[in-house]
A and B are shown apart, each in its own frame.
Chain A
């Protein structure tokens, strides 16, 4: 019976993703270009924020993916701990730099947006601060992967760190809420139509988010393939030294 678990076989994973990747890459490029071009060229200015509202098409998808990348790493880490599928651990490793980049983009575009709107590049606002902390978690996670020689031990330890880090990331999010009231507005996207941004901004934003999700998936698959190959090189070289 075909199931998700057959992709736990590295060879099967590389084969299947190899077939899917080109199509996925084209789709990603289409969605990203369409969303960003639509957002940049064909949306009106906001009556209060002027043209800076166009930054939303980068800021919100990047922030969304920064959080979702960590969630994906958490799930992949759990799968590794429970079922010991190497592909899962490697996928978590592959996702971390992507998540870190998304965090940096969200912070930078936020700073550039905040400068004209709030009159400051940076404020110790709960949302901003917790993103900075999330960035630190990504750094620590990547550094721990890089520091440990033995691949299985590295996978185990980073998985444990990812779980503990998740709890503390959520905790920090609420702690900073307590510590300072924010400048940042509430959710831009929600099921509650009243709270949403206006439709003119909403639809291109959805396309951009789809583009960022696709980009994330494509990059993670690509990087996981690289990690699998790197692992195989290591194993082959070790075998040659033994012989």
Chain B
């Protein structure tokens, strides 16, 4: 399945692994913070709607 990378297999796989981990981390952090802030805002707006 994985193509023959020869003697540089470590380097190529390492580069892909590092980049993909970083990108996934960035996306995950962005989405997680987005969801949290959104939840907070919904809570506050619901509270405001109830109270007046």
Contacts and interface: CB of A to CB of B under 8 A. Distances in A.
Task: Please tell me whether chains A and B touch each other in their complex, using a CB distance cut-off of 8 A.
Answer: yes
Contacts of A108: 15, 18-19, 22
Contacts of B4: 51
A16 B38 CA distance: 16
A116 B30 contact: no
A112 B14 contact: yes
Interface in A96-145: 97-98, 101, 104-105, 108-109, 112-113, 115-116
B15 to A, nearest CB: 4
Contacts of B40: 229, 233
A70 B18 CA distance: 22
By secondary structure, the B interface counts as: helix
B30 A51 contact: no
A31 interface: no
A219 interface: yes
Interface string B20-52: 001101110011011001101100110010000
Contacts of B23: 101, 105, 215
A105 B15 CA distance: 9
A219 B27 contact: yes
A71 interface: no
A230 B37 CA distance: 6
Contact of B12 (A51, A104, A222, A236): A51
B17 to A, nearest CB: 10
B24 to A, nearest CB: 11
A161 B23 CA distance: 27
B37 A52 contact: no
A41 interface: yes
Contacts of A58: 15-16, 19
Interface of B: 2-9, 11-12, 14-16, 18-19, 22-23, 25-27, 30-31, 33-34, 37-38, 40-41, 44-45, 48
- List 9 tightest A-B contacts by C-beta distance, closest first: A51-B5, A226-B34, A112-B15, A109-B15, A58-B19, A55-B15, A52-B8, A229-B37, A101-B26
13 contacts: A40-B3, A50-B8, A55-B11, A59-B15, A62-B19, A104-B22, A215-B23, A223-B30, A223-B33, A226-B37, A229-B37, A229-B38, A230-B37
